[in-house]
A and B are shown apart, each in its own frame.
Chain A
Amino acid sequence: MARARISPGAAVVAIGALLAIASWPLDAYWTGLLTQAVIFGGAAVGLDILVGFAGMASLGHGAFFGLAGYGLALGTLRWGVNPWLAAGIGIVGSTLVALAFAPLAVRVRGLAFLTVMLAFGQVVWGLATRGGSATGGENGLPGVPRPSLGPWDLSGAEAFYLFTLLMAVAAIYAVVRFAGSAVGQSLIGVRDNETRMAALGYDVRRLRIIAFVVAATVGAVFGALSAAFNGFVGPGSLDWRLSAQLLLSVVVGGAGSLWGPFVAGAGLHMLETYFAGTTQRWPLVLGLLYIVTVVLLPGGIASLPRLWRQRRRSARPAATPRSRSASES
């Protein structure tokens, strides 16, 4: 347990600033790659609230990501509203869908929940692909505009990257605060021992709904960012592969650690872009990566620091025999 000496919020801001500085001289390709990576990383952090904290593995989270994008696209392209308002419509709309579906979904657990969410995602995906001219069907909706923030024009790659970083820092900071709050602790309680939580007076159903909706809202924020970044939404923005990618990012990163899913979500996207451009073997690489993770690192990326400390610790007793740390293990 890394009881952080620096506050987690400060860490989020610091990492955001570092990413901003480090990317300053990058060209448009790298800036774009980093933008999308941050978006997927952020969405995975949101999903970690549901998976790692409340213990509910969802294979339909992409739906909330994509719905917000569709909201933004429909608002700007079909209804002609201001992009900010349209993004608001997308995020609020996606959250409302989550709020409506959550009371049903949280009635089931484990694999049934996974499957209900898979089915939910497929329903949304089906509606998007068969939506005819309203949703653009299989072709999706191209031409989603990027807004400007007052005098700040966000249409350039670099400007939008910085804007995405800003939004990501704000959203992830909020998630980290939430995760460390009394409610976040209660979600861990639900994951660990639902019966005990009820016996303590906690409304478990309500907590599960809260986790569901919070994860969906965070996903929606990054979904809207993604649509604005790509200038496009399509069925690929909410299909089950995206849901699987997000869920696996959480697992590969280490469920419940928040930072691990961010690293995995962003890293997997960058790897994918790199390999997809150079070889047809990306799925094989990805598959092997998953397999190697499970076998060598079952706790995910987040377990690396602990393993590293243990290694250093087990290396030390040779120098200082019978140290306190040796007797602990």
Chain B
Amino acid sequence: MHFLVFQTLNGLTTGALLFFLASGLTVVFGLMRILNLAHGALFLFGGFVGYTIGERTGSFVLAAVAGALAAGLLGLVIQQAFSRTLLGSPFNQVLLTLGIAFAIGNVVLWIWGGAPRLIRPPEVLNGSVAVAGVFYPIYRLFLIGLALLAGALLWIFWERSRIGAVVRACVDDRPMAAAMGIPVDRVFAAVFAVGAALAGLTGVLGAPVLGLSIGLEFDVLLLAVVVVVVGGIGSLTGAFVGSMAVGLIDAFGKARFPEISYFTLFAPVILILLLRPNGLFGRAGVE
């Protein structure tokens, strides 16, 4: 029983972080058909900026804001500098964004060095509480709660707000949206920047759990890509369900079958995609 609760909470924590990361990735993909493989590098960059600000100011909130802003700005620069290539052939997209990822990762190594870093969670969230007989870190519970809240807010924003409607219109039918007078280019830039900011924010939020180290950017990127494709490209619901599923499968797989944990994580991915090529919540025709 304790095992079950503990691993469920671990899975939900991973799922929460994945959701922050994957929601940005999936909306950018759904909107612009851009698979941004630099998303993990933006995550890492945001995390390290947050680390420095956190060390200087001692404030976790400032660290989180700085991480999000820095990654968002960098994202905006990338989008503006390469907007034509980003909308071009998928091969070149992969080449470009992976190139950017390598470059960012190495610059981060240059600036911050190779030693792994940790951001301490804010004071109020230190310590553990008992949940169904298991002592569990408060900060991780906070992450799970935050993901639920963010999911709800994003959903409301997406489905109910005017801006959400504009973005959805661009996802569904770009030429039509443009014909209706929606400034598609500006929507693209804004969404790309917000996605990048979310990645940077995740870097800071995740640092107390995952730490910050070179190479982490690709570990989280692989999982986020899996979440996006399995959940269904461009679907926030899919990103949420996919994140939690991947988090839980990962946690239980690692605990129960450590020898074949990659098998337990990726074999279901293959199965799901073969049965539903457009992902669990994806629409047909999106490739």
List residues of A whose CB falls within 8 A of some B CB.
51, 57, 104, 107-112, 115-116, 118-120, 122-123, 125-127, 129-130, 132, 240-241, 244, 247-248, 251-252, 255, 280-284, 286-291, 293-295, 298
Contact = CB atoms under 8 A, between A and B. Distances in A.
B269 interface: yes
Contacts of B69: none
B274 A108 contact: yes
A51 B106 CA distance: 28
A123 B287 CA distance: 24
Contacts, number: 141
Contacts of B89: 298
Interface in B97-125: 98-107, 109-110
A116 to B, nearest CB: 5
Given A130-B260, A294-B82, 19 more contacts: A57-B90, A57-B94, A104-B270, A110-B287, A111-B287, A112-B229, A112-B287, A115-B230, A115-B269, A116-B269, A118-B226, A126-B260, A127-B263, A240-B222, A248-B94, A286-B99, A286-B102, A287-B101, A287-B105
A59 to B, nearest CB: 9
B177 interface: no
Given A240-B222, A294-B99, A119 B266 contact: yes
A247 B94 contact: yes
Contacts of A51: 91
B85 A132 contact: no
Given A57-B90, A119-B226, A287 B99 contact: yes
B106 A290 contact: no
Query: A-B pairs with the 4 shortest C-beta distances?
Result: A126-B262, A290-B99, A287-B103, A287-B102
B31 to A, nearest CB: 15
Given A112-B277, A118-B225, A291 B100 contact: yes
Contact of A123 (B85, B91, B259, B267): B267
A294 B102 CA distance: 15
14 contacts: A108-B274, A109-B287, A111-B35, A112-B278, A119-B267, A119-B273, A126-B263, A130-B261, A248-B95, A251-B94, A283-B105, A287-B102, A293-B99, A298-B92
Given A107-B274, A126-B262, A251-B92, A284 B103 contact: yes
A127 B85 contact: no
Nearest to B37: A244
Nearest to B259: A130
Report whether over half of chain B's contact residues are helix, strand or loop; otherwise say mixed: helix
Nearest to B266: A119
Given A57-B91, A255-B91, A291 B266 contact: no
Interface residues of B, number: 47
B99 A298 contact: no
B233 interface: yes
B88 interface: yes
A286 B89 CA distance: 20
Contacts of A116: 269-270, 273-274
A292 to B, nearest CB: 8
B236 to A, nearest CB: 18
A111 B270 CA distance: 13
Interface string B132-150: 0000000000000000000
A104 B92 contact: no
A255 B261 CA distance: 35
A280 B105 CA distance: 12
B270 A119 contact: yes
Nearest to B270: A119
Contacts of B35: 111
B85 A295 contact: yes
A108 B276 CA distance: 9
